[in-house]
A and B are shown apart, each in its own frame.
Chain A
């Protein structure tokens, strides 16, 4: 069963703008991860944030985690057309346990 909800389901922005995607989950987690998927392709791991962390950065990516609200956000700054893809959050309750994915956000960055 799906764990999380993501919003928005689809997001269209201009190159150079920032993109923010949100994810909510239902149960306790060990960590939360964000993945990217280009159309019809496999998944690319972007960033992992542990349950005891509140914010994490990686290049143009910034992830926040609020365990009290069971939510996370992914911010992509200075977006590029190449960032066009679907983005998914995924949670696991135990290290090495099953990953449950959110519904995903389809991001379109127009040049």
Chain B
């Protein structure tokens, strides 16, 4: 079945630094990728939707300059958390729409801890 590979699975970084999270669709073309954030004991909150070759659409309240999303190819989307702060510590998950199989495939998530 469709697989989305997400890396890294966990990362610890210092305040003020930037962290890049990658999601790759391994056996299908992901024209649309969704990025979610999940705080402990909470649900997944949609941060943004990215379409290959165009600018991402951010949900209300999500800072586009802080969470940079790049979807330069049909198999790769990246989320960069810039100038990270401890409050950015969270679980980030990507999801890709597989239009061949008409389904959503999720990455395994990235646990970000900012110290």
Contacts and interface: CB of A to CB of B under 8 A. Distances in A.
Contacts of B43: 2, 88, 101-104
Nearest to B36: A101
Contacts of B60: 1
Contact of A99 (B42, B104, B109): B104
B62 to A, nearest CB: 11
A98 to B, nearest CB: 5
Given A1-B60, A99-B46, A43 B103 contact: no
B111 A40 contact: yes
A75 interface: no
Given A40-B91, A98-B46, A99-B46, A1 B111 contact: no
Contacts of B6: 42
Contacts of B42: 103-104
A20 to B, nearest CB: 19
A45 B6 CA distance: 17
A99 B93 CA distance: 13
A104 B85 CA distance: 27
Contacts of B89: none
Interface of B: 6, 32, 34, 36, 41-46, 49, 59-60, 91, 93, 95, 97, 99, 102-104, 106-109, 111
The 8 closest A-B pairs by CB, nearest first: A42-B108, A96-B97, A43-B106, A101-B44, A42-B109, A101-B43, A104-B43, A103-B43
Interface of A: 1-2, 33, 40-43, 45, 48, 88, 95-96, 98-104, 106
